[in-house]
Structure 1
Amino acid sequence: MNQISPLAYVHPEAKLGDNNIIGPFCFIDRNTVIGDNNVMQNSVTINYGARIGNSNEFFPGSSISTKPQDLKFKGEDTICEVGDNNSVRENVTISRGTASKGTTKVGSNNLLMENMHIAHDCVFGSNLIIGNSTKFGGEVTVDDNAVVSAEVLCHQFCRVGSYVMIQGGSRFSMDVPPYIIAGKEPIRYAGINIIGLRRHGFSNDLIDLIHNAYRILYSDGTREENINRIKSELQVTKEIQYIIDFVQSSKRGIIK
């Protein structure tokens, strides 16, 4: 049975699962689907088009599936998907999609800290930690297990790779490849995320292999020449192939 405060508003067309807690002054709009065991503390807004999974906790002031902050948006019928076991802290805003992709997606087991923003048509993975007041422009992709610190500004259309650590206060408009630390001003490659990789069970040999891949990637020579060197000089594990594919598919280019 759901526990719904008499001070909350739930639209009659909203679809709720079981065992949800909906606190006072929450607003749940029509065309919303909410799974089981979610907790919505006071003053949470679940807007039109939200698709919420299970066992998420939404803190006061969070607003999910907001109308996109995009002048090209003309009211098209789009959605915002949020997975399971996310902690969505105070005043977090997540926009729904536009005609570009139709959906904003956030995976599972993420910690989205206070006052951060995910814009329209973004695709966020799982096991992410996003710091306070960090903002992502439209159509950004963040792969699994990334850590983005506080007050980071990410330009639209960028991609952030898995297992990265991005320093607080950074600003970037290029892609951040996987397994690295990115920081300083202007933002740049600052080494391998050794501590993060060890915490996730990467062996020392694999960490050394990744380090060697980036040593070659950021050496003299064109990006294509350096990729070819990686392929010829190193064992191409799935991790190394991920780096290669990430760099070769980058449309904005990777940080220096």
Structure 2
Amino acid sequence: MAAQIHPSAYVDPRARLGEQVIIGPQAFVDADVVIGDGTHLMHGAHVGRWTTLGRNNRIFPGAVIGHEPQDLGYKGEESQTLIGDANVFREGVTVHRGNRPGTQTLIGDNNYFMVNSHVAHNCVLGNHIILVNGALLAGHVEIGDRAIISGNCQVHQFVRIGAFAMLRGGSGAAKDVPPFCINDGLNWIRAINTVGLKRNGYTPDRVRAIKEAFKVIFRSGLGLEAALDKVQGELRVTEDVQEMLEFIRASKRGIGSGRGSSRE
């Protein structure tokens, strides 16, 4: 079935719409936009230039997807917003495209962006992520699969949030948050996201191995390198534990502290 476009909507002739796309009243679709089959733009939704939306996305009223980045150095050059399938962008969500020519903001599949959450330029998001109301991602942030960024959280530019990590409501991350961990306050790696892991089918044995590594890294009082070496040399290094170790060792901003203050 061809796209359904409300008479009050604007769709640029250079946009390409898939089958069963619905464009609601007063929605706006800019030039060079590609919208996949089954995607629904509700009234007042806006899709900016050079945006690609996959299949079965839902864009709620007042959401703005793929508009210019909030970067004073951006001069209107071609950059992109590339979004996968089955994402939900609730009211007032903003997602900005890349801030330099040829760069991209990338969002995977099955993510849920709640009211007034923000994804800045050049962010890279995986799959099954939740941004709760008012969550703010600065530029170049990376978020792993099934992470949860709770209400009114703030993530500094270039920070990485690992898979299955969680930022508690109102918290801030100016340093990386390893996979499976809970961030609280400012850069405080408080605990393992045990509930989230169990909900996603992690067995008690898998969770136990992650907890054992967590205790050494964040509770032993050892320096970071010594703690990582101890985990590598003395504990069970499961696939999950190896993921934590590799994430931490790859960090450029440093990781949060288990002692309530940032590591030096």
With structure 2 as the length reference, what TM-score do the two structures score?
0.94
Question: In the alignment, is the contact (CA less than 8 A) between 2:173 and 2:183 conserved in 1?
Answer: no
Q: CA deviation at 1:99?
A: 2.1
Q: What does residue 154 of structure 1 align with?
A: 155
Local SS of the residue matching 2:244: helix
Give the whole-Å Cα distance in 1 for the aligned partners of 2:3 and 2:143.
33
After TM superposition, the structure 1 = structure 2 runs for residues 172-187 of structure 1, keeping only pairs within 5 Å, are: 172-183=173-184, 185-187=185-187
Give the whole-Å Cα distance in 2 for the aligned partners of 1:202 and 1:82.
28
Q: What does residue 31 of structure 1 align with?
A: 32
Q: What does residue 194 of structure 2 align with?
A: 194
Superposed CA RMSD in Å reads 1.1
Letter in 2 for 1:204: P
The reply on whether 1:222 has 2:223 as its aligned counterpart is yes
Question: In the alignment, is the contact (CA less than 8 A) between 2:154 and 2:170 conserved in 1?
Answer: yes
Give the whole-Å Cα distance in 2 for the aligned partners of 1:116 and 1:16.
26
Q: CA deviation at 1:235?
A: 2.1
Structure 1 ranges of 4+ moved more than 4 A: none
Q: CA deviation at 1:101?
A: 6.7
Q: Residues 174 and 38 from structure 1, CA distance in 2 versus in 1: closer, same or farther, beyond 3 angstroms?
A: same
Q: What does residue 168 of structure 2 align with?
A: 167
Give the whole-Å Cα distance in 1 for the aligned partners of 2:151 and 2:243.
27
> Bigger shift: 56-65 or 74-83?
74-83
> Bigger shift: 232-241 or 27-36?
232-241
> Bigger shift: 202-211 or 98-107?
98-107
Q: What does residue 113 of structure 1 align with?
A: 114
Local SS of the residue matching 2:242: helix
Q: What does residue 247 of structure 1 align with?
A: 248
Local SS of the residue matching 1:61: coil
Question: In the alignment, is the contact (CA less than 8 A) between 2:174 and 2:187 conserved in 1?
Answer: no
Give the whole-Å Cα distance in 1 for the aligned partners of 2:99 and 2:187.
30
Q: CA deviation at 1:20?
A: 0.5
Give the whole-Å Cα distance in 2 for the aligned partners of 1:26 and 1:243.
43
Letter in 2 for 1:197: L
Question: In the alignment, is the contact (CA less than 8 A) between 2:181 and 2:191 conserved in 1?
Answer: yes
After TM superposition, the structure 1 = structure 2 runs for residues 1-256 of structure 1, keeping only pairs within 5 Å, are: 1-99=2-100, 102-183=103-184, 185-218=185-218, 219-256=220-257
Question: In the alignment, is the contact (CA less than 8 A) between 1:53 and 1:83 conserved in 2?
Answer: yes
Local SS of the residue matching 2:99: coil
Letter in 2 for 1:92: V
Letter in 2 for 1:161: G
Letter in 2 for 1:192: I
Question: In the alignment, is the contact (CA less than 8 A) between 1:142 and 1:161 conserved in 2?
Answer: yes
Question: In the alignment, is the contact (CA less than 8 A) between 2:78 and 2:102 conserved in 1?
Answer: no
Q: CA deviation at 1:96?
A: 0.2
Give the whole-Å Cα distance in 2 for the aligned partners of 1:151 and 1:98.
24
Question: In the alignment, is the contact (CA less than 8 A) between 1:100 and 1:121 conserved in 2?
Answer: no
Q: CA deviation at 1:187?
A: 4.0
With structure 1 as the length reference, what TM-score do the two structures score?
0.97
The count of aligned residue pairs is: 255
Letter in 2 for 1:206: R
Local SS of the residue matching 2:82: strand
